[in-house]
């Protein structure tokens, strides 16, 4: 008997005035669905993504997970404001998967003391994990690092996305 494992998930990228939909793939190495040029395949509507899903992925439909890219974009413009550690951790992890998929280095994956401290603070304050520090305090170098990580992740995303309209894409 062959058991199939659903490992594709729908992600909505919220850019404030519009949304794009992509497919995240959980596997030994997490990634997102890309085309032959390592560009992220994105859809303008959930309906367009679902048409593709039924034709090519053929797994159970998952709930849509929303990533609020717009909140990170707004925060980058004013990094003194508060932010949601859970949302930023999720974005950071998504940017890592996008970096893997597009084969473009991501600042957030270059480990050093400040980067590790920032990631650990986000991780420890996020939902679903032990909350050692519910409201961590980030010093100026840590905020600079977080800003650089979010900015680099958004740049990789925006510079490597292929929005599909009526084009037929094969997996």
pLDDT top residue among 39 and 133: 39
* pLDDT grade for 167, boundaries at 50, 70 and 90: low
R_g of the chain computed on alpha carbons: 17
pLDDT on residue 156: 98
Backbone angles phi, psi at 43, to 5 degrees: -125, 145
pLDDT tens-place string over residues 99-147: 999 999 999 999 999 999 999 999 988 875 565 567 889 999 999 999 9
pLDDT on residue 147: 97
**Contact present, 150 and 91 (Cβ < 8 Å):** yes
pLDDT tens-place string over residues 47-83: 999 999 888 888 888 889 999 999 999 999 998 889 9
pLDDT on residue 75: 97
Q: Which helix (H) or strand (E) holds 81?
A: none
For the segment 24-50, the average pLDDT, to the nearest whole number, is 93
Give the residue among 51, 66, 74 at the shortest CA–CA distance from 9.
Answer: 66
pLDDT on residue 132: 58
CB atoms within 10 A of CB 61: 13
User: CA-to-CA distance for 41 and 25, rounded, in angstroms?
Assistant: 12
The domain segmentation of the chain, as residue ranges, is: 8-164
Is the predicted pLDDT of residue 15 greater than 60, yes or no? Answer: yes
pTM of the model: 0.90
C-alpha distances in Å from residue 81, one per residue of 46, 58, 91, 152? 32, 42, 17, 19
CB atoms within 10 A of CB 145: 22
pLDDT on residue 27: 84
Is the predicted pLDDT of residue 171 greater than 50, yes or no? Answer: no
């Amino acid at each position: 008997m062959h058991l199939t494992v659903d490992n594709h998930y729908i992600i909505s990228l919220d850019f404030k005035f519009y949304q794009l939909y992509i497919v995240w793939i959980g596997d030994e190495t997490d990634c997102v669905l890309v085309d032959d040029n390592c560009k992220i395949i994105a859809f303008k509507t959930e309906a367009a993504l679902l048409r593709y899903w039924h034709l090519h992925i053929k797994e159970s439909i998952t709930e849509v997970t929303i990533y609020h890219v717009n909140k990170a974009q707004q925060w980058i413009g004013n990094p003194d404001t508060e932010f949601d550690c859970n949302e930023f951790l999720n974005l950071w992890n998504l940017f890592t998967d996008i970096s893997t998929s597009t084969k473009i280095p991501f600042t957030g994956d270059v480990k050093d003391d400040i980067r590790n401290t920032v990631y650990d603070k986000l991780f420890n304050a996020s939902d679903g994990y032990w909350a050692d520090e519910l409201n961590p305090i980030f010093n100026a170098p840590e905020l600079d690092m977080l800003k650089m990580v979010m900015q680099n992740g958004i740049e990789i995303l925006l510079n490597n996305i292929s929005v599909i309209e009526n084009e037929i894409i094969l997996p």
